[in-house]
Amino acid sequence: MQELRIDEVNNDLVIVANNRSKRPMDKIKNQTEEEIQVEYDLNCPFCRGNESYATIERYKIEDNSGWLTRSVDNKFPIVDELSDEIYGVHEVIIDTYRHNGTFYNMSELEFQDLFKTYKNRYKEFMKSESVQYVNIFKNFLRKSGASLTHPHSQIISLSLVPPEINKEEEVASKYFKENKTYLYDDIIKKEIEYKKRVINDNRYFLTIVPYASKYSGEVRIIFKEKIKFEQISDDHIKELSKVFNRLFKNLYKVNGYDPFNLCIHTHSKKLENKDEFNVHMHIIPRKYSFGGFELGTGMYVSSTNPEELANKLNFELD
């Protein structure tokens, strides 16, 4: 039976239609790109040793062997440092020096360096008075929008608050006004009590398959504490790296080498009460694409059963 659900963080309307996963098209294996085997590619501008092909370096973490992760200017920025309307800075963060490094095979230490780099660039970008929001995201494989194969993330500062964040913050503020409790606190409490959609519950982070999402198969990681992204500590980063390492191992087991997007949603500068909003991450598989129904109605059809998926991805941390 079909069921109408609302994604509580943004009010998206989702029709959960489990029977649709039995459609013949879903049996067709997702056309994935070949997994890369080489650690170094002579022609790749993001490989260690090819620094001269890349743009200006803004930050790096290194050890005796050389840089491990680094952030460089984006050659083709979406925003414009000279514009008043869409002012911003756009950098590319090279996740790891390894050409064949992916979230599916990165070690906990590699994730730690990457998240430290996210934090450093985020903090730096937020300093500008013209900036209202800083967006961190990642496209993995061409189907998700990536143009270069070497694994990388992107960070963009914006002089406006993007509509998706505006909507999430407004939903959270309205919830607090109406209920006198915080939306994210209530989601965390409810999901931990219900258990079945929880992939991992730890000290600082709750990882779930959301009750409703317009993106079939989405995984959401919610910060339990009411901190801003720039306040993330080394302890948080350690736990988060463990979560990513284990989660992506399980995603690989369940879905294989699939394209995905990572979107990190943080506080905008305009949100007055920071406690209304918890930083969270959307991990979105790009197996499915929207059809005419979604594009024409702004309603979404999900063929994922959240409880089943959570059960497959579930893990404990040691």
Residue 44 is a binding residue for Zn ion (CB under 5 A): yes
Using CB under 5 A as the binding rule, whether residue 99 contacts Zn ion is answered as: yes
The verdict on 265 binding Zn ion (CB under 5 A) reads yes
Nearest to 281, CA basis, from 224, 220, 236, 205: 220
Under the criterion CB under 5 A, does residue 60 sit at the interface with Zn ion? Answer: no
**Do the Cβ atoms of 9 and 172 come closer than 8 Å?**
yes
Measured from the CB atom, the residue of 47 and 209 that comes closer to Zn ion is 47
Q: At its nearest, how many Å lie between Zn ion and the CB of residue 41? A: 5
In the numeric block, which tokens belong to residue 85? 């309307």
- 267: annotated binding-site residue? no
Instruction: Consult the annotation and say whether 99 binds a ligand.
Output: yes
Q: Which is nearer to Zn ion, 44 or 221 (CB)?
A: 44
Q: Measured from the CB of residue 78, what is the shortest distance to Zn ion in angstroms?
A: 19
Instruction: Report which secondary-structure segment, H or E, holds 165.
Output: helix 163-179
Task: Examine residue 47 and tell whether it contacts Zn ion (CB under 5 A).
Answer: yes
Options 90, 152, 236, 267, the catalytic residue: 152
Residues 159-218 that bind Zn ion (CB under 5 A): 168
Nearer to Zn ion, 87 or 136 (CB): 136
Q: Identity (one letter) of the amino acid at 299?
A: M
Q: Which residue(s) pair with 201 in the sheet?
A: 206
Residue in the shown chain whose Cβ atom is closest to Zn ion? 44
Q: Is there a catalytic annotation at residue 90?
A: no
- Report whether 150 belongs to an annotated binding site: yes
Q: Is 90 annotated as a binding residue?
A: no
Draw the binding track, 119-158, toward Zn ion (x: CB under 5 A; -: no contact). Answer: -------------------------------x--------
- Name every residue whose Cβ is closer than 8 Å to that of residue 125 and which is 6 or more positions away in sequence: 89, 131, 134, 155, 157
Question: What span, in angstroms and rounded, lies between the C-alpha atoms of 57 and 71?
Answer: 6
Tell me: does residue 264 bind Zn ion (CB under 5 A). no
Contact with Zn ion (CB under 5 A) among 46, 87, 125, 260: 46
| Residue owning tokens 């600082």 | 204
Distances 182 to 172, 223, 226, 253 between C-alpha atoms, Å: 7, 14, 11, 35
Strands (E), 101-258: 133-140, 152-158, 198-201, 205-208, 219-223
Nearest CA to 197 out of 8, 25, 20 is that of 8
Residues annotated in the binding site for Fe cation, as ranges?
168, 265, 280, 282
- Active site amino acids: 152
- Residues in contact with Zn ion by the rule CB under 5 A: 41, 44, 46-47, 99, 150, 168, 265
Residues annotated in the binding site for Zn(2+), as ranges?
44, 47, 99, 150
